Structure 1
């Protein structure tokens, strides 16, 4: 029954991919100029929004900050899609090549490759430079695909997809944003909706059939996700590139109650799903709370 359910879900998602898929090379007007005075991310998304440092910035400085913040988010997205693709390729290495499940895995890998290309082109388009991971973070992310299988694969896929999806849905209709950014967000939201559905199905199915040991290990390990996501979203390098005092900006951002509300809002949908599926174990929930994603 599990195999039948899995095949039916994959077939439905494959049909959706046929109906609504994009190629950013032709579906985004890369030659259109940037619009003066428009932001690259909504001001309210900025971790500095409402702080004394934010209030002292000129409109031009705020727009430049949003440019660097977008470049950081796109860089994080590029890393994550790379990790996910490696894990999916390992998952289907010995799988049945005639299976609809394998076919959808390959379809998602293709989607994510196009997303990585889209993120890279957008960083270049907005006149920014990609951000690089700290060597310790880089070592962790390089090893991650080797450990992402079973329940762990699906849970980490959701952590990387759902939080950003909540913010993207808000951005894609934001009139104050650069049109090229809004178009990219819309494309990503449409295609990520299928990826999120697949990962949610994977979590729900695996929680029914995984061993008690697997549920305990994964449920505890996901606590790492909170601090890791916090450190990817906010770090002094973003502010230094925007011409600010990086350490002071980081301090104000981390102490900013508005930024915490934005994080809680981004994690809330996923938090409720993980709680409904009884995924959290040990101190995982407390670690997400300490990182500011749970009130």
Structure 2
């Protein structure tokens, strides 16, 4: 892999550009954010269109006050998922930085590690100040059993995670219905994630192109099935019964099952995953844009 990556001039050019942008756009988050003592609890904390209940039959039964309560706790769940996802990302990068296989991108890894550590800090700070950090829900996905694809799967999962998050960041960063602190957190994260996504797409495309020369069709298909299951589980993790409990809704597990079974959740899933799925199809990583149905567990 070392020779292949090092020989790819486009990848080298992208890395140089992203490293330069990271240096140019560097900021100190510890002095950038001014955290108010509290945020109004009766306001929107997440764009209503991004709520898991949006457009569902159950969501239509909720009052405006209940919807705003859901928005508060779904906002905190979203930032909690970022904390846990960033921890996985950092673990993966630290394990690979300055190894033979990843000698070329290691310089840029230093910037990503620093930026992601700061992202984890401000997401965790938001959660701890204004609510709590929700514990991670284990996805429980069995791996595809293709050892040659370990690097590819790590970077593919990280890319999927970052692209899902950025869908929310872009919308909430400019939503005037949200408190300025909420908008700022999302704006700042989107600024950095646009670079990380650009890197991730290059890395995932290159790693998969190498695998196509080494793996037969059946194993490539298994990688596709695994990543599609990962996508589904990632979106379904946004529907958290602990959120509904904290928002004061009765029978939170029943609420989750009802939302996951609602046709509106499929449209929500397609909307959140559209950019990631289109990329995977265009790069011949996926044969089609189908995603497995939700599992109401």
The TM-score with structure 1 as length reference comes to 0.84
Q: Report what 2:122 is aligned to.
A: 118
What is the correspondence of 1:195-234 to structure 2 with a 5 Å cutoff? 195-210=196-211, 211-213=213-215, 215-234=220-239
CA deviation map 1:271-291 (0-9, x unaligned): 11100111126xx965x2423
Classify 1:22/1:215 alpha carbon distance in 2 versus 1 (closer, same or farther; 3 Å): farther
Classify 1:139/1:117 alpha carbon distance in 2 versus 1 (closer, same or farther; 3 Å): farther
Classify 1:111/1:124 alpha carbon distance in 2 versus 1 (closer, same or farther; 3 Å): same
SS at match of 1:49: coil
**Aligned-residue offset at 1:173:** 0.7
- What is the distance in 2 between the residues matched to 1:165 and 1:35? 25
- What is the distance in 2 between the residues matched to 1:51 and 1:266? 16
What is the correspondence of 1:67-82 to structure 2 with a 5 Å cutoff? 67-82=72-87
SS at match of 2:105: helix
- What is the distance in 2 between the residues matched to 1:49 and 1:94? 45
Question: Which stretch shifts more, 258-267 or 39-48?
Answer: 258-267
Task: Find the partner of 1:109 among 106, 113, 117.
Answer: 113
Classify 1:152/1:138 alpha carbon distance in 2 versus 1 (closer, same or farther; 3 Å): closer
Match status 1:84 vs 2:53: no
The TM-score with structure 2 as length reference comes to 0.84
- What is the distance in 1 between the residues matched to 2:133 and 2:148? 26
RMSD (Å), alpha carbons: 2.8
Match status 1:150 vs 2:151: yes
Structure 2 portions without partners, runs of 5+? none
Match status 1:129 vs 2:132: yes
Match status 1:257 vs 2:263: yes
**Aligned-residue offset at 1:47:** 1.6
SS at match of 2:237: helix
